[in-house]
Chains A and B, each alone.
Chain A
Amino acid sequence: MSGLWRSVVVPWIPRAILLGLFAFAIFGPLANLLLWAFAEVWYFPHKLPLEWGFDFWRQVFKPRGNAMLSLNNSIIIAIFTVIVSLAIAIPAGYALARRNLPWRSLILIAFLLPQAFPSVAVYINVARIFYGFGLAGTYVGVVLVHTVQGLVFAVWIATAAFSAVDRELEEAARNLGASGLRTFFTITLPLALPGIMASAIFVFLISLDEFTGTFFVGVPDVVTMPLLLFNASMEGNYQIASITSLLLLVPSVGFMLFIERFLKADVLAKVGN
């Protein structure tokens, strides 16, 4: 009995402690979030909320309230960001994967570049330039800023998705008499679609979570969920902030599970190649 104890249980103790710490690091803040979302009254030194309820939820989901408006803004902006990104990423990804473009790796890196610079510095200047064009505080301006960030993922993943389509299938379609365009729409695109879907979801989530660009370009006319969250927590309104966070969390987790099913290993292996 003691032998079993030593050989099976003891080696597990450090692992259990490590896993426990890991779980606490991830789920601790989330638990705090959940508590705050349903807390009506909660102040120091009490360990748990004194009163529970849905008052703040009602406040958030009040029609014409700030929260609903910014939720709408977020979703509209995210959808248009996805459309603009894909409109660029599908032809770009196909060209990068299939044509022998000169400077191919340079082009791929160019899409990565916006991520390389400190974003505050970039967006202060973007805001200045957009102001000159009358784009500051407009949906178009915010969509453009989000698109620049989303394009890295969209283009890189689309390139990988097109690369993963067997060229011989395209040759077979051409051999059977299909034109280049027809081959693209009946063979290449359908086979690359799971990867394209995954990149669309990535772009959607990036847009949903984007803060810095929206803050400099959109405020005060265009307010999205992350900005509402920021304002609420700055005002010490933790309930509103927690509920907003939960609303942002749901699509992220849902889509991540979805992507995990769609983005197959053969596509992932081609990212950046």
Chain B
Amino acid sequence: MTITSHAASVRFENVTKAYGAVVAVDRVSFTIEPGQLVTLLGPSGCGKTTTLRLIAGLEMATDGHIFIGENDVTKLPVTDRDVSMVFQSYALFPHMNVNENVGYGLKVSGMKKREAQERSQEALRLVGLSDLGERMPAALSGGQQQRVAVARALVLEPQVLLFDEPLSNLDAKLRRRVREEVREIQQNLGLTTVYVTHDQEEALAVSDRIVVMKNAAIAQEGTPRELYDHPANSFVADFIGDANIVEGTILGGGGETANVRIGCLEMELPCRSASAGPAKIAIRPEAIRLSAGDHGTGMRGTVRKATYLGNHLEYTIETEVGPLFVSDPHVEAPVAPGEIVGVQFEHRGVTLINDPSDDAERASESSPQ
């Protein structure tokens, strides 16, 4: 008896969920390939949990269509969807022991007791809890409860596995380990998995693809690398990793690149369609190089703040384009506050943002920092 996967794709077509006048999910479309782990990432209230609950059928879409595999499940009730969810609170039944919790779904489905027991055992073995079947949930640690919740979801061999902020109740050390385990099980079984989190590091670590949500809509979708290297707007730039959003000017250029002026510096940046004029540029803190002493003709800045963090230094530098947040790995040569330094930008880590609907204020408000 082994747990296998019946992975199916998930497709949203213009799905809207409204509670009266409040729109929680606004015309969202995306596709999740079978066997992939996709993260819904965004600040609280962005609609990511509602999107997850729409997949499970715990919420019903107001408009649009949801497909699991080839089936339109938009109107299918929660009990008839082949989707299992791991809840944020784990939602283990406190009056049942671990075996009964894991076997609940099998018992409900009418499986023979013996077979159900074997399958529950197998699921518990998969999460490394074979010996704890007789325990009550209250007698387990947070990490163990979480594994039981995962086993309870896996045992039904769902087409889609859902995680709602599964690590938020664990302490920081445990989080890294658990997320690696979740990823390992997902990859070994080839499960289609949708994972909700507000933690960008967690999202980057576990995902095949990330859907960044903001204000009930998708801000950007892509692989972790695409989102980090080529954020489509300042919200994504600031939410995934840190970014300095500065004003610059597009001087011209054609095809794949544009010539951009940032303060007194000029750079060639990759760009699809740019017209000359003002533009926003996202600069990663680690893409800024500081040079003490002689700084020639380049951009200069005054060090306002310097913070030592062991493996790197963080600076706030006052420059002609505004204050810049800098992460510098050269801990052996710190620069003292008040000193004047030369400022240069590396190409990788500087992105031209040309999204007309962009507004940086909201992005910085909802950033986790």
Given known pairs A169-B91, A187-B93, A191-B95, the reply for A175 and B108 (CB within 8 Å) is: no
Once the chains bind, are B87 and A178 in contact (CB under 8 Å)?
no
In-complex Cβ contact of B105 among A177, A179, A191 (8 A): A177
Asked if B109 is an interface residue, CB under 8 A from chain A, the answer is: yes
Once the chains bind, are B91 and A172 in contact (CB under 8 Å)?
yes
- Which of B66-74, B77-85, B285-293, B360-368 lies at the binding interface? B77-85
Asked if B200 is an interface residue, CB under 8 A from chain A, the answer is: no
Q: How far is the CA of A173 from the CA of B105 in the complex (A)?
A: 8
Once the chains bind, are B89 and A166 in contact (CB under 8 Å)?
yes
CB distance from B105 to the nearest CB of A (A): 4
Given known pairs A176-B156, A190-B95, the reply for A171 and B58 (CB within 8 Å) is: yes
Once the chains bind, are A179 and B91 in contact (CB under 8 Å)?
no
In-complex Cβ contact of B79 among A168, A177, A187, A190 (8 A): A177
Once the chains bind, are B58 and A169 in contact (CB under 8 Å)?
no
Q: How far is the CA of A246 from the CA of B79 in the complex (A)?
A: 55
Q: Which residues of A contact B83 (CB under 8 A)?
A: 175
Once the chains bind, are A171 and B91 in contact (CB under 8 Å)?
yes
Q: How far is the CA of A166 from the CA of B56 in the complex (A)?
A: 18
Asked if A182 is an interface residue, CB under 8 A from chain B, the answer is: yes
Once the chains bind, are A171 and B108 in contact (CB under 8 Å)?
no
Asked if A98 is an interface residue, CB under 8 A from chain B, the answer is: no
Q: How many residues of B contact A (CB 8 A)?
A: 20
In-complex Cβ contact of B85 among A166, A172, A179, A190 (8 A): A172
Once the chains bind, are B104 and A176 in contact (CB under 8 Å)?
yes
Asked if A104 is an interface residue, CB under 8 A from chain B, the answer is: no
Contact with A along B89-112 (1 / 0, CB 8 A): 101011100000000110011000
Q: How far is the CA of A243 from the CA of B104 in the complex (A)?
A: 53
Once the chains bind, are B87 and A168 in contact (CB under 8 Å)?
yes
Asked if B198 is an interface residue, CB under 8 A from chain A, the answer is: no
Of residues 96 to 128 in A, which have CB atoms within 8 Å of B's CB atoms?
none
Once the chains bind, are B91 and A168 in contact (CB under 8 Å)?
yes
CB distance from B94 to the nearest CB of A (A): 7
In-complex Cβ contact of A176 among B58, B84, B95 (8 A): B84
Q: How far is the CA of A172 from the CA of B84 in the complex (A)?
A: 9
Once the chains bind, are B84 and A171 in contact (CB under 8 Å)?
no
Q: Which residues of B contact A175 (CB under 8 A)?
A: 56, 58, 78, 83-85
Closest to A169 in B: B91
Q: Which residues of B contact A62 (CB under 8 A)?
A: none
The residue among A166, A177, A186, A191 with the most chain B CB atoms within 10 A of its own CB is A177
Q: How far is the CA of A117 from the CA of B66 in the complex (A)?
A: 56
Q: How far is the CA of A177 from the CA of B79 in the complex (A)?
A: 4
Closest to A165 in B: B94
Asked if B209 is an interface residue, CB under 8 A from chain A, the answer is: no
Once the chains bind, are A178 and B91 in contact (CB under 8 Å)?
no
Asked if A174 is an interface residue, CB under 8 A from chain B, the answer is: yes
Contact with B along A167-201 (1 / 0, CB 8 A): 01101111111110010001100110000000000
Once the chains bind, are B78 and A166 in contact (CB under 8 Å)?
no
Q: How far is the CA of A176 from the CA of B91 in the complex (A)?
A: 12
Q: How far is the CA of A190 from the CA of B87 in the complex (A)?
A: 21
CB distance from B68 to the nearest CB of A (A): 14
Once the chains bind, are B85 and A169 in contact (CB under 8 Å)?
no
Q: Can you offer 7 A-B residue contacts whose CB atoms are under 8 A?
A: A168-B88, A169-B94, A171-B58, A174-B58, A174-B78, A186-B104, A190-B95
A residues lining the B interface (CB < 8 Å): 166, 168-169, 171-179, 182, 186-187, 190-191
The list of the 10 closest CB pairs from A to B, nearest first, reads A176-B105, A172-B91, A168-B91, A177-B108, A178-B108, A174-B78, A175-B85, A190-B95, A177-B79, A169-B91
B residues lining the A interface (CB < 8 Å): 56, 58, 78-79, 83-85, 87-89, 91, 93-95, 104-105, 108-109, 152, 156
